[in-house]
């Protein structure tokens, strides 16, 4: 498991790293929010420990920016006792909070709980190559970066991924996604949604194959 520790104080980074490495976690460090965002792009991170009080970009702003692209669990750390800070962090997408001073046991217990919860959420995840769908939350990620899809785009992608290897006509996709009672003269809207879906998925959009004269499919193998 790889944990990213984000704190502007070197002694706190060292202390957190010592606690975590004793439990055999792999730890990488960032001194500020911008560095943390760069490391998230470069590494597959399992959990983030994020200090609130940092110069330039504080923990709240960093948390908000992380949540715009990633679902990685976030444990926020603060020296403040103000309950509003805790509420604000949770509203911005933090998963848990620990206040300084904290004991190693408390920190590790919260880390383990978040990782356990994250692993449970994994089973609700449908993955194909670098596309990951969190079905309960109706969220899509490509290479761990969040992709915002409209309702029908999401439904099309999910259906094709759940039925990989099968070819579906426009009519079939329309009936499944829009409903059999929807207006029948709008089958071409499937083409429009597929085009937009491919664009939003970028390189991963190439997984959606056109079967000329029939419809669309996603191949039943991973590249």
CATH of the domain at 58: 3.40.50.2300
- Is the domain of 105 the same as that of 156? no
Please give the pLDDT value at position 92.
87
- Report the domain count for the chain: 2
196 shares its domain with 143: yes
pLDDT in tens, the chain (223 residues): 899 999 999 999 999 999 999 999 999 999 999 999 999 988 889 999 999 989 889 999 999 999 888 888 999 998 766 667 777 888 888 999 898 888 999 999 999 999 988 776 555 778 888 898 988 788 899 987 889 999 999 999 999 998 998 999 998 999 888 876 566 556 789 999 999 999 999 999 999 999 999 999 998 765 4
| 63 and 138 part of one domain | no
Asked if the structure places residue 194 within a domain, the reply is yes
What are the start-end ranges of the H helices in the chain?
10-22, 33-42, 59-67, 83-91, 104-122, 151-162, 170-177, 189-201
22 within domain boundaries: yes
Task: Let me know: does 150 contact 200? Beta carbons within 8 Å.
Answer: no
Judge whether 91 lies within some domain.
Answer: yes
- Verify that 115 and 137 share a domain, yes or no: no
Integer Cα distance of 8 and 13 in angstroms = 8
Q: Identify whether 112 is part of a domain.
A: yes
Residue at 77 is within a domain: yes
Q: Looking at the structure, do residues 118 and 177 belong to the same domain, yes or no? A: no
CATH number of the domain where residue 203 is located: 1.10.10.10
Residues 138 and 210 both lie in one domain: yes
Do 39 and 130 have their domain in common?
A: no
In a domain, 141, yes or no: yes
Q: What pLDDT, on a 0 to 100 scale, did the predictor assign at position 70?
A: 84
**Range(s) of the domain holding residue 104:** 2-122
- Other CB atoms within 10 A of residue 33 CB: 25
Which pLDDT belongs to residue 222?
56
Are residues 170 and 112 part of one domain? no
In a domain, 223, yes or no: no
CA distance 116 to 111: 9
Q: How far is CA 180 from CA 91, 94, 167, in A?
A: 39, 41, 18
Please say which residue of 88, 122, 156 terminates a domain. Answer: 122
Residues 133, 189, single domain; the answer is yes
Q: Which of 106, 122, 138 is the last residue of a domain?
A: 122
State residue 182's pLDDT score. Answer: 62
Do residue 105 and residue 136 come from a single domain? no
Residues 11, 104, single domain; the answer is yes
Shared domain for 28 and 13, answered yes or no, is yes
Q: Which residue, 122, 137, 166, sits at the end of a domain? A: 122
């Amino acid at each position: 498991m790889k944990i990213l520790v984000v704190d502007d104080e070197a002694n706190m980074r060292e202390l957190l790293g010592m606690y975590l490495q004793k439990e055999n976690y792999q730890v990488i460090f960032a001194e500020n929010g911008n560095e943390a965002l760069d490391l998230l792009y470069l590494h597959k991170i399992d959990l983030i420990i994020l200090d609130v009080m940092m110069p330039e970009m504080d923990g709240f702003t960093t948390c908000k920016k992380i949540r715009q692209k990633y679902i990685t669990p976030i444990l926020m750390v603060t020296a403040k006792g103000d309950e509003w800070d805790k509420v604000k962090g949770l509203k911005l997408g933090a998963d848990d909070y620990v206040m300084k001073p904290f004991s190693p046991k408390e920190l590790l217990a919260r880390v383990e709980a978040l990782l356990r919860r994250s692993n449970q959420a994994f089973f609700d995840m449908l993955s194909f190559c670098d596309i990951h769908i969190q079905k309960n939350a109706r969220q899509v990620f490509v290479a761990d970066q969040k992709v915002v899809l409209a309702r029908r785009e999401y439904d099309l992608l999910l259906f094709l991924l759940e039925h990989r290897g099968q070819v579906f006509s426009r009519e079939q996709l329309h009936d499944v996604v829009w409903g059999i009672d929807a207006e029948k003269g709008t089958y071409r809207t499937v083409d429009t949604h597929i085009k937009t879906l491919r664009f939003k998925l970028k390189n991963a959009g190439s997984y959606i194959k056109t079967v000329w004269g029939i419809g669309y499919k996603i191949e039943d193998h991973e590249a």
